[in-house]
Structure 1
Amino acid sequence: MLHFATVLGPAWSLVLFTLEEHWKMPYSPAFVRAVQRGQIEIRYLPPATQLTSSRDVLDFLTRPWIWEQVESAHRVLMFQLDSILCSKSMYTVEAFFEYDFVGAPIDPKYGAGYNGGLSLRNPKLFASITREADFGQSGQEFEDQWFYAEALERGPVLPTQLAAREFAVETIYQERALGYHQPERWQHDKMEEIREWGPEVGMLVGRRAV
């Protein structure tokens, strides 16, 4: 979170959602200072929330509660522990604000749309989708591809393939992207080039989200 706070800059507010019973302030002066100045906000999940499996996370993200918490924001940047932003990029996240949904484009052999592990989303659109559609009945396996399919029916503003690649890389490679999701897994043969461009990617080596 400190990395993202630094690259995004002071105009951004970061929200950490966690269960109150499990929360302990990290022993990190930098993190404490970020909380004290309001750049990182701690919010508590409903007490009965369970996020112990991938399915739990999918169900949580496809229900209204989380999107209603951030619905007043113009755009929301979601990032998992296996994603990173490159501080040397000529792009900023704000450069992609025109889009309702953008993330690393998914290789067609894996599905359609954008990967959600590092993605910029219109929370009003996503909240409306969760109120109007049922992920459990959709037959979709992944929340990001479900949201993409539902968004298409509502006339969203979406990026070109090139713009999405410049925003983030996962299964499809692009030189000098702004962000990366699971680069060691999907772009193993490009890691030397990626790390030369964005040394921060080294923080992800050996890390993969559940």
Structure 2
Amino acid sequence: MALNTTTSGLFALNRTKVLLFACLVAIWTIAGLFPRYQESLQEQLARTRQKIPSITVEFHPNGDPLTAYDPTKLALLIEGRAKPHLVPQILHMISVVPPEWRFLFIGTNKSVAAFGRSFAIKHQQAAGKLDLMVVPKPWEIKDKEHVWRMLTGAHFYTDLLPGVEWIMKYESDSIMCSNSKDSLNDWLRFDWAAAPRSDTDTFAGNGGLSVRRVAAIKRVLDFQSRDADSEPEDEWFGKRISAMPDFKVASGLDAKHFSVEEVYHEAPMGYHLRDGPGHLAAGVWRNSDQREDPQRCEGDNREGTIDREVSLAAEKAEAEKSRIKIEEKKRAQEEAEKVLEQERKKNDAEKAADKEAENKKEEDRKKQDTKLTAKLNKEQADKAEAEAKKKAEEDKKKPPA
């Protein structure tokens, strides 16, 4: 007969008790090890906290948006008429002109109200990029003559445009080319640049789309004033600025031109239609090939899509051109540095030679001074000796007392 025994009660083993015992052992082990590693764990946690980026959210930022722009550069549009294309025109100009330039629109109550209703314009105002201004008294802009009077008055620049050094003046019938390879800042080497009136025009200064230096304008206004109801402001300024030797103006004889109005030139910065679309210069717009857009993207099939392979090939070619240009610039810089180093060595050698000559000259001067001093000392000694002999002889000749 088999004897069956079972263990029951508090000390009976089962899976739950085994797991509880293992957990207790693990906890006791960790508790015993924790004081030993507590300091290193705290250091690790501190290092981890330092690596976590801190984020600060300003719901009411106090930064001035104007600090993002250059106060010396201003794009100026003066228009008293509420034309429907002004909003897309100025938004296009903002996208083309370098980002540090600010924009100012001066108009009448009607044109400013119509222009300022656009949400996109309000956004540019909030960003500090664009200012809208109703023309203040005593100025008026009801016609071109009154605009010219304002632009040829010194108070316009001192009162309304303080601190402005460069003005890009454009009108409602002008446009900047977004595909131009030039930047507006490239033309700041001129005191006045615009469209020439002829191929031989020595002053390319049509004011409908022009870049001007305020210092040149103020210099003219310091000693002359324009008569009312006389020639346009750009012609009036042009005759005077081009005659002053201290200022540099663009010319119709130049290879590149800031803008096109009456005379066609390849790849200008922009175009201006004098007197609006009713006046199309035959030399610019009569030729149908010139009216087409020659500056399309590579691979454009004129149906709204671009051939990707052609586009990639064009991008590679452009990248290769950029690489070559960078290498040429680097080589030119290295050559310039070599020339500068040679000039520096030459200057150092000349300075050393000059210093050596100066030292030799100083030594010669010291030798001459020494010789002269010795000669003078000898002469004085000889003179003293002669006087002593003479006195001795005189003493001998005297009878004894």
Name the TM-score, length of structure 1 as normaliser: 0.81
Report how far residue 26 of structure 1 moved: 2.6
Q: How many angstroms does 1:95 deviate by?
A: 0.6
| 141, 145, 149: which one aligns with 1:55 | 145
Find the aligned partners of 2:250 and 2:273 in 1 and give their Cα distance.
21
How far apart are the structure 1 equivalents of 2:293 and 2:174?
17
Pairs aligned (count): 198
Which of the numbers 92, 95, 101 marks the counterpart of 1:6?
A: 95
Give distance in 2, aligned partners of 1:63 and 1:122: 15
The whole-number CA distance in structure 2 between the counterparts of 1:191 and 1:63 is 42
Whether the 8 Å CA contact 2:175–2:272 is kept in 1: the answer is yes
Which runs of 5 or more structure 1 residues have no equivalent in the other structure? 200-210
Q: 1:48, 1:191 → 2: CA distance?
A: 46
Q: Which has more strand, going by share of residues? A: 1
Residue 75 (structure 1) shift: 1.2
Quick one: structure 1 residues 90 and 111, their matched pair in 2 at CA, closer, same or farther if it must change by over 3 Å? closer
- Offset, 1:43: 3.3
Residue 84 (structure 1) shift = 0.4
Matched, 1:99 2:196: no
Residues 150-187 of structure 1: CA distance to partner in whole angstroms, max 9, x if unpaired?
Answer: 11333211234354852110111101211101185112
The 8 Å contact of residues 198 and 262 in structure 2, kept in 1 or not, is answered as yes
Moved more, 84-93 or 40-49: 40-49
Amino acid of the structure 1 residue aligned with 2:124? A
Distance in 2 (CA, whole Å) between partners of 1:198 and 1:40 is 29
Partner of 2:392: none
**Residues 67-90 of structure 1 deviation map (CA, whole Å, 9 limit, x = unaligned):** 223352231100000100000011
33, 39, 47: which one aligns with 2:129? 39
Deviations 1:36-79 (A, max 9, x none): 00100123432332211222122121111322233522311000
**Structure 2 length as normaliser, TM-score?**
0.45
CA distance in 1, matches of 2:264, 2:186: 20
Percent identity over paired residues: 21
Separation (CA, whole Å) in 1 of partners of 2:155 and 2:198? 30
Which structure 2 residues correspond to residues 56-135 of structure 1 after superposition, within 5 A?
56-68=146-158, 69-107=160-198, 113-135=204-226
Amino acid at match of 1:188: W
Which structure has more RCO (C-alpha within 8 Å, separation ≥ 6)? 1
Using the alignment, how far apart are the partners of 2:149 and 2:255 within structure 1? 26
Q: Does 1:189 align with 2:286?
A: yes
Match among 221, 236, 241 for residue 151 of structure 1: 241
Q: Indicate the structure with greater helix content.
A: 2
Gaps of at least 5 residues in structure 2 are: 1-89, 297-401
Q: Distance in 1 between matches of 2:200 and 2:187?
A: 25
Question: 1:120 and 1:11, CA in 2 relative to 1: closer, same or farther beyond 3 A?
Answer: same
Q: Tell me by how many angstroms 1:113 deviates.
A: 4.3
AA matched with 1:193: Q
Letter in 2 for 1:56: H
Instruction: Tell me how far 1:112 sits from its aligned partner.
Output: 5.4
Task: Write the distance in 1 (CA, Å) between the matches of 2:226 and 2:238.
Answer: 12
- Return the offset for 1:198: 6.7
- Say what the alpha-carbon RMSD is for the aligned residues: 2.9
C-alpha separation in 2, matches of 1:148 and 1:93: 20
Which deviates more, 92-101 or 22-31? 22-31
Change (3 A) 1:159 1:122: same
